[in-house]
């Protein structure tokens, strides 16, 4: 799809990788295949194991058990400085006693590359991140965004087949972050190397990634494209972590044709059922819910009543938080052309049962999200 440079990336295979600190399992049997040249984002809340996974790939952390292949070769036990992997850190980690130029030349000097060639490659890398005019500055003379761009140049100047990024935009403000996201995307396209990107920001993950691996409690919950994760979440945790969602919980009854859920006296039906002895919940995306005043004609098969708890004007439309009968909150997005509602107003929410995603309930999904 994207016009990409020749594929120079390394494949990564994690095979049931575990990392334990005493009795705490930071990683619990993680398996993941990253394709050559792919942009893979490791997404999850703090402490979910995404950074540990990155550190394991980089060689900063040893695995307790499991196998790790980079470019088809096992790197378990290989020290970080012999792995030839570029790393960009959240805290930039530029050497303060060297100019920008010397920082970027550092990995080339270590590899014994002659001065002429070194100069050329430093200039090329700095041009790629649009910092060509800053070679003689010291890191302390640069802004955070500029420092991170230099750090990126330093991590790609020696042509590593794999680039790891650990929340590289975490310390920057929103505008700068959005611009640098596009820059990183462009650089990935131009280089054609494998990128592994760690973030806790799901929007950032959606913007950047070919695929996203969602981490929770040291395990991977689901791997897929942004669309797959949004439309077909495999677990309640993934459904809630990616995008806005409304979760309906209640007394459930399943038969051959579908599942009925009774939420505070009102029953909604989805034409599906879950296999096994699990308690089902329904997950609904904001755009699948219609909002209207009570008593009007039903648009969908299911309806729930509630009161407006929060109305947010978004420019392109409005977002409402609606308090349902059981005290839970539903999130609805309505287009600008639609009716508008005030705080405290009684409303009805309608949806098509086919749009409701049935997922097994997971009480831990709520606590780990905050």
Partner 1 sequence: MEMKPLTRLILGLVCLLVAIWLVAPTLVVVPMSFNENKSLAFPPQGFSWQWYQNFATNPEWSTSFLNSLKVASLVAVLATVLGTLAAFGLDRMKARPANLLRMLMLTPMVVPGVVLAIGIYAVYLDAQLVGTLTGFVLAHTILALPFVLIAVSANLEVFDRRLETAAASLGAGALTTFRTVTLPLILPGILSGLLFAFATSFDEIVVSLFITNPYLKTLPVQIFSSITRDADPTVAAVGTILLFATTILIGGGMLLLGRERKGRV
**Shortest distance (Å) from residue 61 CB to partner 1:** 11
Dist CA 188 CA 190 (whole Å): 5
Question: Taking CB under 8 A as the rule, does residue 79 contact partner 1?
Answer: yes
Site map (CB under 8 A) of partner 1, residues 141-160, x = contact? -------------xx--x--
Q: Which two tokens stand for residue 263?
A: 């939420």
- Of 25, 106, 258, 326, the one binding partner 1 (CB under 8 A) is 106
Q: At what angle do helices 174-191 and 144-156 cross, to 10 degrees?
A: 10
Cβ-Cβ contacts under 8 Å for 116 (sequence gap 6 or more): none
- Of 22, 77, 96, 265, the one binding partner 1 (CB under 8 A) is 96
Question: Taking CB under 8 A as the rule, does residue 114 contact partner 1?
Answer: no
- Of 60, 132, 144, 217, the one binding partner 1 (CB under 8 A) is 60
User: Any idea of the CA torsion for 186, 189, 190, 191, to the nearest 10 degrees?
Assistant: 120
Question: Taking CB under 8 A as the rule, does residue 81 contact partner 1?
Answer: yes
Question: Taking CB under 8 A as the rule, does residue 53 contact partner 1?
Answer: no
- Of 73, 97, 174, 227, the one binding partner 1 (CB under 8 A) is 97
Question: Taking CB under 8 A as the rule, does residue 22 contact partner 1?
Answer: no
Q: Which of 140/367 has CB closer to partner 1?
A: 140
**Cα 136 to Cα 95, 152, 154, 211, distances in angstroms:** 14, 17, 15, 38
Dist CA 329 CA 74 (whole Å): 48
Dist CA 343 CA 321 (whole Å): 10
How many CB atoms are closer than 10 A to CB 314?
10
Residue in this structure with the two tokens 């609606």, named with its chain if needed: 322
SS3 358: strand
Three-state SS annotation for 56-111 = HHHCCCCCCEEEEEECCEECCCCCHHHCCCEEECCCCCCCCCCCHHHHHHHHHHHC
DSSP per-residue letters across 299-350: SSSEEEEEEEEEEEE-SSEEEEEEEETTS-EEEEEEETTS----TT-EEEEE
**Shortest distance (Å) from residue 60 CB to partner 1:** 6
**Cα 127 to Cα 130, 131, 132, 260, distances in angstroms:** 5, 6, 5, 60
Question: Taking CB under 8 A as the rule, does residue 217 contact partner 1?
Answer: no
Which span sits near partner 1 by CB under 8 A: 25-33, 105-113, 167-175, 252-260? 105-113
- Of 9, 37, 44, 86, the one binding partner 1 (CB under 8 A) is 86
Question: Taking CB under 8 A as the rule, does residue 95 contact partner 1?
Answer: yes
Q: Which of 97/174 has CB closer to partner 1?
A: 97
Question: Taking CB under 8 A as the rule, does residue 171 contact partner 1?
Answer: no
Question: Taking CB under 8 A as the rule, does residue 140 contact partner 1?
Answer: yes
- Of 138, 170, 183, 311, the one binding partner 1 (CB under 8 A) is 138
Q: Which of 157/330 has CB closer to partner 1?
A: 157
Question: Taking CB under 8 A as the rule, does residue 91 contact partner 1?
Answer: yes
**Shortest distance (Å) from residue 165 CB to partner 1:** 12
Question: Taking CB under 8 A as the rule, does residue 71 contact partner 1?
Answer: no
Question: Taking CB under 8 A as the rule, does residue 93 contact partner 1?
Answer: yes
Question: Taking CB under 8 A as the rule, does residue 20 contact partner 1?
Answer: no
Q: Which of 137/249 has CB closer to partner 1?
A: 137
Alpha helices in the chain (DSSP H): 50-58, 100-110, 115-128, 144-156, 174-191, 202-208, 226-231, 236-241, 364-367
- Of 21, 33, 111, 366, the one binding partner 1 (CB under 8 A) is 111
Q: Which of 59/239 has CB closer to partner 1?
A: 59
Q: Which residues bind partner 1 (CB under 8 A)?
A: 58-60, 79-82, 84-87, 89, 91, 93, 95-97, 106-107, 110-111, 138, 140, 154-155, 158
């Amino acid at each position: 799809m994207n016009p990409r440079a020749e594929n120079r990336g390394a494949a990564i295979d994690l095979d049931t990788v575990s990392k334990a600190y005493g009795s705490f399992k930071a990683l619990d049997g993680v398996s993941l295949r990253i394709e050559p040249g792919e942009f893979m984002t490791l997404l999850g809340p703090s402490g979910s194991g995404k950074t540990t996974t990155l550190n394991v790939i980089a060689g900063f952390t040893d695995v307790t058990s499991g196998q790790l292949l980079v470019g088809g070769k096992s790197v378990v036990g290989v020290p970080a400085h012999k792995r030839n992997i570029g790393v960009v850190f959240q805290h930039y980690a530029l050497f303060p006693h060297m100019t920008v130029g010397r920082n970027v030349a550092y990995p080339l000097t270590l590899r014994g590359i002659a001065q002429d060639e070194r100069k050329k490659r430093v200039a090329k890398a700095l041009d790629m991140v649009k910092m060509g005019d800053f070679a003689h500055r010291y890191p302390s003379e640069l802004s955070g965004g500029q420092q991170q761009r230099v750090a990126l140049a330093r991590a790609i100047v020696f042509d590593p087949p794999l680039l790891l990024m650990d929340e590289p935009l975490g310390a920057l403000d929103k505008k700068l972050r959005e611009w640098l996201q596009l820059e990183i995307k462009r650089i990935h396209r131009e280089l054609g190397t494998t990128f592994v990107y760690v973030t806790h920001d799901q929007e950032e993950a959606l913007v950047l990634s070919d695929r996203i691996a969602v981490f929770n409690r040291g395990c991977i919950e689901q791997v897929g494209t942004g669309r797959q994760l949004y439309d077909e979440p495999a677990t309640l945790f993934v459904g809630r972590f990616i995008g806005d969602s409304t979760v309906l919980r209640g007394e459930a009854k399943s038969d051959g044709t579908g599942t009925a859920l009774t939420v505070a006296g009102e029953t909604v039906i989805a034409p599906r059922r879950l296999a096994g002895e699990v308690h089902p919940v329904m997950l609904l995306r904001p755009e699948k819910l219609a909002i209207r005043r009570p008593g009007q004609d039903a648009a969908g098969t299911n309806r729930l009543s509630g009161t407006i708890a929060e109305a947010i004007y978004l420019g392109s439309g409005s977002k409402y938080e609606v308090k349902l009968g059981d005290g839970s909150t539903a999130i609805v997005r309505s287009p600008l052309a639609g009716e508008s509602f005030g705080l405290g107003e009684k409303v009805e929410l309608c949806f098509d049962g086919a749009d409701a995603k049935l997922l097994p309930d997971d009480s831990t999904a709520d606590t780990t999200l905050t």
